[in-house]
Amino acid sequence: MKFNTQLIHGGISEDPTTGAVSTPIYRSSTFRQHVLGGGPKWEYARTGNPTRASLELLMAQLEEGVAGFAFASGSAAIHAVFSLYSSGDHFIVGKDVYGGTFRLINKVLKRFGLEFTVVDTQDLAVVEAAVQDNTVAIYFETPTNPLLEVSDIEAIAKIAKKHGLKTVIDNTFATPYNQRPLTLGADIVVHSATKYLGGHSDVVGGISVTNDEEIAEQLAFIQNSIGAVLGPDDSWLLMRGIKTLSARMRIHHENTAAVIELLEKDPRVARVLYPGLPDFPGHDIAAKQMDHFGAMVSFELQAGLSAKKFVESLQVIMLAESLGGIESLIEVPAVMTHGSIPREVRLQNGIKDELIRLSVGIEDEEDLVADLQQALDQLS
- Least Cα distance to 70 among 54, 84, 88 occurs for 54
**Ramachandran region, residue 220 (left: φ > 0; alpha: ψ -120 to 50; beta: rest):** alpha
Report the alpha-carbon distance of residue 340 to residue 108 in Å, rounded: 13
- Edge to edge, the sheet with strand 206-210 lists 67-71, 206-210, 188-192, 166-170, 135-141, 90-94, 115-119
Is 195 catalytic? The answer is: yes
Is 46 catalytic? The answer is: yes
Are 87 and 111 in contact, with CB atoms under 8 Å apart?
no
Is 2 catalytic? The answer is: no
User: What is the residue-wise DSSP string for 35-96?
Assistant: STT---S-SBTTT--HHHHHHHHHHHHHTT-SEEEEESSHHHHHHHHHTTS-TT-EEEEESS
Which residues, in sequence order, are CB contacts of 234 under 8 Å at separation 6+? 203, 204, 205
- DSSP letter at 30 equals B
Report the alpha-carbon distance of residue 84 to residue 81 in Å, rounded: 6
C-alpha pair distances (Å), 220 with each of 4, 51, 166, 207, 229? 28, 16, 18, 12, 11
Choose the catalytic residue: 152, 170, 234, 371.
170
Choose the catalytic residue: 85, 98, 196, 274.
98
Choose the catalytic residue: 15, 46, 120, 268.
46
Choose the catalytic residue: 195, 243, 248, 346.
195
Q: Where are the beta strands (DSSP E) in the chain?
A: 67-71, 90-94, 115-119, 135-141, 166-170, 188-192, 206-210, 269-273, 296-301, 318-319, 329-331, 355-359
Active centre residues (catalytic): 46, 98, 170, 195
